[in-house]
Amino acid sequence: MARRPARKSAAKAGRASADRAVPPDASTREKIIAAFMALLAEKRFEEIGLVEIAEAAGVSLAEFRGEFASPLAILAAHIKDTDRVVLAADFSDMTEEPPRERLFDVLMRRLEAMTPYREGVREALAWLRREPVAALAMNQVSTNSMRFMLEAAGIEARGAAGAVKLQGLALAWGRVLQIWLDDDDPALSKTMVELDRMLTRGERAVAGLDRVSALTSPFSALVQAAFEAGRRARRGGSRPARKDDPGDEDVTAL
């Protein structure tokens, strides 16, 4: 019984923070996300309960369940909403810039969109360091987010090389966020220096990756050609093809 007033006061504080962050006509989903990020700015992630989030958002627990299954899902939705804010911006003035400069501008706009939730982001990152399993799950969310950031900058991320680019950028972004959280300069000078350094390093790594891909592609073609020749030879051999022959799909599936 003694703990109930404390929980209510915390929820009330979170509700007040959420009210400041969300317009009155916000959807249930938007209210829940804003309330959760406000609570994260005040408490440890693992101390925030579902009922507390619902109370802070001013919604019922049933309404909460209709939108989200867990606090981790709310965090993922917040990241997705940040993606939308960045992608809705006009990037037409960047068309003449080099890809690296375009990506720098896109990520700086992302930081601008994240600024109102800075303290909530701080606690979310701290929690992910405490919970490796959750961090692994959020890694996929982060790499998907970075995929859209690259696309906004006009940079493709396809195939195996694209997967390496995405994972590298996601890891680099995590390091940039750590600098950003403690950067007291309104111009974010330290953050910009770190972002520039990470993108320069990433640009060099991608150039090396592209060179390796260019060098190995002729060998890949030879291997594929040999595979096709062998398959044709097997088909043209003495054994007639049977209806239950594995065929191309089964071979390639291996």
Q: What is the pLDDT confidence band of residue 234, given thresholds at 50, 70 and 90?
A: low
Distance CA 44, CA 23 (A): 26
Distance CA 111, CA 85 (A): 11
Tokens encoding 247: 């065929």
The angle subtended at Cα 137 by Cα 134 and Cα 143, nearest 5°, is 130
Residue 7 pLDDT: 42
Helix (H) or strand (E) holding 52: helix 50-57
pLDDT per residue as tens digits for the range 163-183: 888 888 999 999 999 999 999
The total of other beta-carbon atoms located within 10 Å of residue 4's CB is 8
By the 8 A CB rule, do 167 and 146 touch?
Answer: no
pLDDT per residue as tens digits for the range 38-55: 999 999 999 999 999 999
- pLDDT-above-70 percentage for the chain: 71
Query: pTM for the whole thing?
Result: 0.72
pLDDT per residue as tens digits for the range 194-213: 999 999 887 776 654 454 44
Residue 2 pLDDT: 43
Residue 239 pLDDT: 47
Residue 248 DSSP symbol: H
Q: How far is CA 12 from the centre of its chain?
A: 31
**Of 162 and 120, which is predicted with more confidence?**
120
pLDDT per residue as tens digits for the range 60-71: 999 999 999 999
Diameter of the chain measured on Cα atoms = 86
Q: Give which of 10, 39, 195, 26 is closest to 117, Cα–Cα.
A: 39
Q: What's the chain's average pLDDT?
A: 80
Helix (H) or strand (E) holding 55: helix 50-57
By the 8 A CB rule, do 57 and 34 touch?
Answer: yes
Residue 45 pLDDT: 96
